[in-house]
Structure 1
Amino acid sequence: MATTRLRKFYPLPAAAAVVLLSLAGCADPDSAAAEGAGSTATAGNGVVYNTSPDQDRIRSQKDAGLAAEVPADIAEDGKLTVASTGGSVPLSFHATDDKTVIGTEIDLAQLVADKLGLELDLQVTSWENWPLKTESGDYEAVFSNVGINDERLKKFDFASYRAAYMGFEAKKDTDITAKGAADIAGKKIAVGSGTNQEKILLAWNEELEKDGKEPASLQYYSSEADTILALSSGRIDLNLAPYPSTVYRENTRDDLKVVGKVNAGWPTETLVAATTERGNGLGPVISEAVDALIADGSYAQVLERWGLEEEAVPESEFFSEDSK
């Protein structure tokens, strides 16, 4: 069964507080669609990524007991309305037809809908829009690499389904490593505005300034494609992005590598979770559904399909401010 527990997510230093209040997230908000024109990309670790609109998704079976637990107002239309941003390979991104949104987040949302006996109604949204539309009830759940933090817990409930990490990536011929604040001093680093990545870097820059060291210069680009071009051409030293995306590029390109990894909840830990309106009763049911998917093996199949076994969790946890 899913557990109901609340971890303490400690606030970041003052320099990052304003970003926290913006409900910043794990995902890059406006990154590009799938890289390359082909419908498959074979990774260095042997994973074959299918980027075509024909996904032949892994599916699961309805659990009548869980279906009966879905709040009546949500179950009424027979659909689970899920929002995702379509902004980061291999999590949630546009297929080669530039229309169909695919990725591990979509596959997991499909599995949850199956388990609850509902049709998946996928809605593509911007990173900025999902909070308001989830609060208003337009979206019943968000599957888009959303990390849990204290500020979000004031407005949403969460059912965890993946570990949450960020990866530093650099050109393959560099000797840079990035594990903490000291490693980024004076470096030019690309980061998405209003993301957990930015919060981490702002906090590390504050540490550097207190120690009398040169802070990193944060660089902002309008798309993931522009960011990667800047990195590969040597105009910036590092990019900090969702770890699955950095691993994907390391394994499908010959010019980039991962040079560091940090939990998205630094200085503590957090998880990626399905996000629902606070107190509407859906979050606990999704958490139980994820546990059922872990038990029947379909959860592991999806993560293996997208090369994300490293981010698997042994169970789902339900997080709610109301459970304090």
Structure 2
Amino acid sequence: MSQPSALRNPRLRTLAVLPAVVLASMAVLTGCSDPGAQAAVAGQETAAANGVVYNSSPEQNRIRAQKDSALAAKVPAAIAEDGKLTVGTTAGSVPLSFHATDNKTPIGSELDLAQLVADKLGLELDVQVTAWENWPLKTQSGDLEVVFSNVGINADRVKLFDFSTYRAAFMGFEAKSTSSYDIKGSADISGLRISVGSGTNQEKILLAWNKELEAAGKAPAQLQYYSSDADTILALGSGRTDVNITPYPSAVYRANTRDDLKIVGKVNAGWPNETLVAATTLKDNGLAPVITDALNEVIKDGSYAKVLNRWGLSEEALTDSETVTESNYTGATK
């Protein structure tokens, strides 16, 4: 089996300056989250250092796409019959998916991309906010038809789900702007206090790096766990933790909207291999190839690039989308 080219080498392009089994395996299935990462957004528009003006109001005026009748006809009947594309998201991480200033409307880059796909398929976008740990079971039960929530592809997930790739998957290390950390591998975290979400891919990376450090006779990093993003950032700012590891887009957002934090490292979420973020659908239900085609159309017509530009995520853009299933997957996160 050949590995999808996007997983062999994520074909990224820079479009602007900047720029995630059942209960026993749930920690692995849900391992790309940033639990509780509901960053406070002051006001309805936040001007960032990267030139992006983040709109956090309920009125998003989303970028839209034109229906493709041929693609719409390929949507499985069970999904198309209600005229809606039911999209699951966690609304827990700025600028990916979070609540607007009314504290109830889910917005962000993930939902903008979901809107483009729904438009192409001639379906109404039906957004359902769910806790990160619940999306696998809700997708299996049929409550959710597709998940757009920074879900990364890994070996456990492909046993239950099919994927349509749409963004690179990186984790960012963030620290106080006065720090001098430069984190590229395990040697750079020895002895540091690092905050991380429990059961996430980033925790798996740190645990693996700590094993490398211990094998080399060096002090491992001290992993710290907080119940919310606000608590994590407060601990980072107060010096109770040295570094935080989080989905890269969230680190980019904070680095460009605050003057006290900066990015001090970046690692692929599939370390030691590579993985991608993908729209996640139930295995073998026929929806993933249609979503992949829709994503390739919006990549081609430029609306995809506009969405990523809007949220400062162009560094994570792909040149095309690919369908990844258990039959063509040959390895990312172990």
TM-score by length of 2: 0.90
**Following superposition of structure 1 onto structure 2, how do residues 130-279 of structure 1 map, counting pairs within 5 Å?**
130-279=135-284
Is residue 95 of structure 1 aligned with residue 134 of structure 2? Answer: no
Corresponding residue pairs, total: 313
- Structure 2 match to 1:104: 109
Stretches of structure 2 lacking an aligned partner (at least 5 in a row): 9-23, 330-334
Structure 2 residue identity aligned to 1:210: A
Seq. identity, % = 68
Partner deviation per Cα, 1:226-277 (whole Å, 9 max, x = no partner)? 1001001111000000001001100000100000000000000000000000
Per-residue CA distance 1:150-207 (angstroms, 9 max, x = gap): 1100000000000000000000001111110000011000101111111100110111
Whole-angstrom CA distance in 1 between matches of 2:302 and 2:3:
23
Classify the secondary structure of the residue corresponding to 1:129.
helix
Where do residues 34-49 of structure 1 align in structure 2 (5 Å cutoff)?
34-49=39-54
Give the root-mean-square deviation of aligned CA atoms.
1.8
Q: 5+ residue gaps in structure 1?
A: 10-17
Secondary structure in 2 matching 1:273: strand
CA contact (8 A) 1:84 1:142 kept: yes
| Aligned position for 1:31 | 37
Where 2:271 maps in the other structure, the secondary structure is coil
Is contact 1:5-1:320 (8 Å) kept?
A: no
Tell me the distance in 2 between the aligned counterparts of 1:49 and 1:62: 27
Amino acid at match of 1:136: S
154 and 62 in structure 1: CA distance in 2 versus 1, 3 angstrom threshold: same
C-alpha separation between the residues in 1 aligned to 2:126 and 2:35?
21
Q: Which runs of 4+ in 1 moved over 3 A?
A: 3-9, 18-22
TM-score, structure 1 as length reference: 0.93
- Distance apart, 1:30 and its partner CA: 1.9
Q: Secondary structure at the match of 1:145?
A: coil
What is the aligned partner in structure 1 of residue 13 from structure 2?
A: none
1:246 and 1:215 map into 2 onto residues whose CA distance is 23
Check whether the contact 1:58–1:111 (CA below 8 A) recurs between aligned residues: yes
Question: Deviations 1:258-307 (Å, cap 9, x if unpaired)?
Answer: 00000000000000000000000000100010000001110000000000
1:113, distance to aligned residue in structure 2 (A): 0.3
Contact 1:4 1:317 in 2 (8 A): no
Contact kept in structure 1, 2:7 and 2:276, CA below 8 Å? no
* Offset, 1:22: 3.4
Task: Look up the match of 1:119.
Answer: 124
Counterpart for residue 67 of structure 1: 72
Once the 2 structures are TM-superposed, how far is the Cα of residue 35 of structure 1 from its aligned partner? 1.7
Distance 1:220 1:189, change over 3 A: same
Q: Distance in 2 between matches of 1:184 and 1:116?
A: 46
